């Protein structure tokens, strides 16, 4: 009886300690895509997922001259929605993002604050002046979100071009890589969740 009580307590504590992913639709973003992402990403990281109703794109992050948003300011806003330190918050937006030393980025993650943001701006075909191929947008969003979320689970970038955690600068690299972690990344991930 005593042993059973201990094991129940352990289970309860493990449940409390388990990380949770919080997905935040930012601004006027395609909610269907975000919802689909939230559904798909949880099982991969063995986490429950909450999806927030949404948050406005922070005005403070907007650079009117560049017509872009500063990713670090967005992450600082996302950090405020965290209910506790074990939550990993991922924002998804349509707007183009930048960092001081990067013209335009697909996404950005900060391990210390446990926050990440992914932009659909470049993932859409129309960015290249081509007709938009909706079927390609979601897999790209999924792969980029997986890659950024992997950072939040302490994984560094992978050198395997087929791994979803491969650092992809070109859209071709994203399209060519798979949607799953390679064996090395999966083993590292298992050590963190
Ligand atoms: Zn890998």
Contacts of 30 (CB under 8 A, 6+ apart): 94, 120
| Domain positions in the chain | 18-192
In the predicted structure, residue 89 carries a pLDDT above the cut 70: yes
Q: For residue 66, how far is its CA from the centre of ligand 1 (angstroms)?
A: 34
* pLDDT in the model for residue 16: 56
State yes or no: pLDDT of 2 exceeds 50: no
Q: Ligand 1: distance of its center to the CA of 170 in Å? A: 17
Strands 107-110 and 115-119, how do they pair?
Answer: antiparallel
pLDDT tens sequence across 173-189: 999 999 999 999 999 99
Residue 4 pLDDT: 45
Q: What's the gap in Å between 176 CA and the centre of ligand 1?
A: 14
Question: How much distance in Å is there from the Cα of 5 to the middle of ligand 1?
Answer: 40
User: 100 alpha carbon to ligand 1 midpoint, in Å?
Assistant: 28
Beta strand 87-93 with 115-119: parallel, antiparallel or unpaired? parallel
Residue found under tokens 């083993």: 187
pLDDT digits (tens, 9 = 90+) for 6-60: 444 444 444 457 899 999 999 999 999 999 999 999 999 999 999 999 999 999 9
Residue 101 backbone dihedrals phi, psi, to 5 degrees = -105, 15
The CATH number, out of the four listed (3.40.390.10, 3.40.50.150, 3.90.1150.10, 2.30.30.90), of the domain defined by the range 18-192: 3.40.390.10
CA of 6 to the centre of ligand 1 (A): 37
Ligand 1 geometric centre to CA of 59 (Å):
36
CA dist 35 and 184 (Å) reads 29
By CB atoms closer than 10 A (0-12, 13-18, 19+), residue 107 is buried
Query: Ligand 1: distance of its center to the CA of 123 in Å?
Result: 21
pLDDT digit string, tens, across residues 147-159: 999 999 999 989 9
pTM for the full predicted model: 0.88
- Which residues, by Cβ under 5 Å, contact ligand 1, an ion? 158, 160, 163, 165, 182, 185
């Amino acid at each position: 009886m005593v042993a059973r009580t201990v094991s129940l307590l352990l289970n309860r504590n493990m449940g409390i300690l388990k990380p949770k992913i919080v997905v935040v639709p930012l601004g006027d973003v395609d909610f269907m895509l975000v919802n689909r992402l939230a559904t798909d990403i949880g099982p991969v990281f063995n986490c429950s997922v909450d999806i927030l109703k949404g948050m406005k794109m922070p005005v403070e992050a907007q650079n009117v001259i560049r017509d872009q948003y500063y990713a670090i300011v967005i992450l600082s806003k996302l950090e405020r929605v965290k209910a506790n330190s074990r939550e990993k918050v991922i924002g998804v937006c349509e707007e183009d993002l930048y960092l001081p030393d990067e013209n335009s980025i697909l996404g950005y993650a900060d391990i210390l604050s446990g926050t990440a943001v992914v932009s659909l701006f470049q993932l859409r075909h129309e960015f290249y002046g081509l007709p938009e191929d909706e079927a390609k947008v979601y897999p790209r969003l999924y792969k980029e979100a997986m890659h950024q979320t992997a950072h939040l689970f302490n994984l560094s970038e992978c050198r395997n071009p087929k791994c979803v955690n491969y650092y992809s600068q070109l859209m071709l690299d994203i399209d060519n890589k798979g949607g799953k972690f390679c064996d090395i990344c999966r083993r590292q991930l298992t050590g963190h969740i």
